[in-house]
Chains A and B, each alone.
Chain A
């Protein structure tokens, strides 16, 4: 094949490859890696699209990062699990209104050997005090995610100031899946959301150590980014998603998402959460 012919063919292929994409209505949702990793979006979004024809594109980051992305106007909707941060976001004028969507819980996972001897303890704060006292290895996400912020809140309730200089406390700055892998490899404790825990393909050695404490409750909220602050925000489509998610259909879809028969999330829109 002559050189010229080869170039012509390549040009045609490139032209065909960049054929006009249909202008689908779409929104960008900034959410968290734990929500993404749980597989919830893979379950929900096709249902929403079938209902409304709107494409939902999810950028999954840590909670802090997701809220920053929304502040910059790079997303239409933000969907995270850190109530205090979310309310601050709305108070600052970046969001229209915060609505609760669903909850799950965190649990403390750890190695079967349980070096701090806290398996089955009901009081999470007491358990974490024991871990610190024993200097048992503990993996933290360290990435300003909702999980990380919840973990820090518990440490402060325990009256402890953990920093990365403590050798037993490992802040890795990564997502939930990576944190579980690391904790498993290091035989360390780790705080995780139930969704990621259930979706995690266990190859390792973690098991639930402490669960059920009210302080481990993890509430998810959804907010439309303010079109006043960012006029380009897709208000109608974004609101459609929020309405669907907090309405009967979305709430049922959330409840219907299970792994091994167990639900990962519990819908609670319309409650004062």
Chain B
């Protein structure tokens, strides 16, 4: 496959609409997951209730949910013959966002819980002396943990953008409607039609690399904000 074919591919608007759809679905899923996961993580970190430790273990385990399993479950729920069929959501973009949000929420919630718990250990005296209510306390901790939370969201985004099982099953891989980078790669490969698959694969790689680069940058900024200063003239760093 020559460089010409590849170049033609990059100029094809269909390719970019597929890329755009993938990114918007995964971004939306992360937004939903953050809306649920941030408060959930803070709640788990700051409140005591019977079974809390079990809940934490289960939440950590859910980070590794297999995407196809999530896809199958949501498919059965959203099918017209399923309990939520009246919503008519199967084979739509909304279904894909829901499925990916289910995948990403445990990641954000578990990492939030860890970050908030760590900060609470440190801030306990100060915040207790201020006699803050639970919401104010959670809000202060979440904001101070913002760098770690952003990296958690990015981790979630990376997971969502790279998965194929969930969106394939609940989205139906409909041409021009629910076809993402990953499902297109799967389809084109099975057809033996490689140029589009390879082009998308490279773009997906770039997205993943970009996300990881962002994580690194943000982690560094977070360290500076934590007061960890890395440049040591004596060590020539």
A73 touches B27 (CB 8 A): no
Assuming A175-B190, A201-B193, A230-B80, is B177 touching A73 (CB within 8 A)?
A: no
Beta-carbon contacts under 8 Å, A177-221 to B: 177-178, 180-181, 200-201, 203-204
Assuming A14-B31, A58-B174, A59-B173, is B79 touching A180 (CB within 8 A)?
A: no
Q: How far is the CA of A58 from the CA of B177 in the complex (A)?
A: 9
B190 touches A59 (CB 8 A): no
How many residues from A make CB contacts under 8 Å with B?
Answer: 29
- The answer, yes or no, to whether B172 is at the interface (CB within 8 Å) is yes
Q: How far is the CA of A8 from the CA of B190 in the complex (A)?
A: 41
User: Chain A contact residues: over half helix, strand or loop, or mixed?
Assistant: mixed
Q: Please tell me which one of the listed residues B79, B91, B146 contacts residue A59 in the complex, with CB atoms under 8 A apart.
A: B91
- The answer, yes or no, to whether B192 is at the interface (CB within 8 Å) is yes
Residues on A with beta carbons closer than 8 Å to the beta carbon of B88: 232
A177 touches B192 (CB 8 A): yes
Beta-carbon contacts under 8 Å, B75-100 to A: 79-82, 85, 88, 90-91
A73 touches B192 (CB 8 A): no
A178 touches B174 (CB 8 A): no
Closest B-chain residue to A177, C-beta based?
B191
A73 touches B190 (CB 8 A): no
Residues on A with beta carbons closer than 8 Å to the beta carbon of B82: 72
Q: How far is the CA of A36 from the CA of B184 in the complex (A)?
A: 13
Residues on A with beta carbons closer than 8 Å to the beta carbon of B192: 177-178, 180-181, 200-201, 203-204
Q: How far is the CA of A17 from the CA of B88 in the complex (A)?
A: 22
B85 touches A3 (CB 8 A): no
Q: How far is the CA of A37 from the CA of B187 in the complex (A)?
A: 9
A17 touches B191 (CB 8 A): no
A37 touches B191 (CB 8 A): yes
B80 touches A72 (CB 8 A): yes
Q: Please tell me which one of the listed residues A14, A42, A71, A174 contacts residue B190 in the complex, with CB atoms under 8 A apart.
A: A174
- The answer, yes or no, to whether B175 is at the interface (CB within 8 Å) is yes
Beta-carbon contacts under 8 Å, B9-66 to A: 24, 27-28, 31
Task: Looking at the assembled complex, report how far the CB atom of B93 sits from the nearest CB atom of chain A, in whole angstroms.
Answer: 9
Closest A-chain residue to B90, C-beta based?
A74
Residues on B with beta carbons closer than 8 Å to the beta carbon of A177: 190-193
Closest A-chain residue to B23, C-beta based?
A17
Residues on A with beta carbons closer than 8 Å to the beta carbon of B146: 3
Beta-carbon contacts under 8 Å, A1-53 to B: 3, 14, 17-18, 28, 36-37, 41-42
Q: How far is the CA of A145 from the CA of B233 in the complex (A)?
A: 69
Assuming A14-B31, A72-B80, is B190 touching A60 (CB within 8 A)?
A: no
Task: Looking at the assembled complex, report how far the CB atom of A217 sits from the nearest CB atom of chain B, in whole angstroms.
Answer: 24
B175 touches A74 (CB 8 A): no
A72 touches B173 (CB 8 A): no
- The answer, yes or no, to whether A57 is at the interface (CB within 8 Å) is yes
Closest A-chain residue to B147, C-beta based?
A3
Assuming A42-B175, A58-B174, A232-B88, is B190 touching A17 (CB within 8 A)?
A: no
Closest A-chain residue to B191, C-beta based?
A177
Residues on A with beta carbons closer than 8 Å to the beta carbon of B172: 57, 59
A178 touches B190 (CB 8 A): yes
A232 touches B173 (CB 8 A): no
Assuming A174-B190, A181-B192, is B91 touching A28 (CB within 8 A)?
A: yes
Q: How far is the CA of A131 from the CA of B107 in the complex (A)?
A: 53
Q: How far is the CA of A84 from the CA of B44 in the complex (A)?
A: 56
B80 touches A232 (CB 8 A): yes
Q: How far is the CA of A55 from the CA of B160 in the complex (A)?
A: 28
B174 touches A57 (CB 8 A): yes
B79 touches A72 (CB 8 A): yes
Most chain B beta carbons < 10 A, residue from A58, A59, A178: A59
Task: Looking at the assembled complex, report how far the CB atom of A138 sits from the nearest CB atom of chain B, in whole angstroms.
Answer: 19
Task: Looking at the assembled complex, report how far the CB atom of A179 sits from the nearest CB atom of chain B, in whole angstroms.
Answer: 9
A17 touches B24 (CB 8 A): yes
Residues on A with beta carbons closer than 8 Å to the beta carbon of B90: 74
Most chain A beta carbons < 10 A, residue from B28, B146, B192: B192
Residues on A with beta carbons closer than 8 Å to the beta carbon of B190: 174-175, 177-178, 181
A59 touches B27 (CB 8 A): no
A-side residues, CB < 8 A to B, are 3, 14, 17-18, 28, 36-37, 41-42, 57-60, 71-74, 174-175, 177-178, 180-181, 200-201, 203-204, 230, 232
**Given A17-B28, A57-B91, A59-B172; 9 other pairs, CB 8 A cutoff:** A3-B146, A58-B175, A71-B81, A72-B79, A74-B90, A174-B190, A200-B191, A200-B192, A204-B192
The 3 A-B pairs at the shortest CB distance, nearest first, are namely: A73-B80, A177-B191, A59-B172
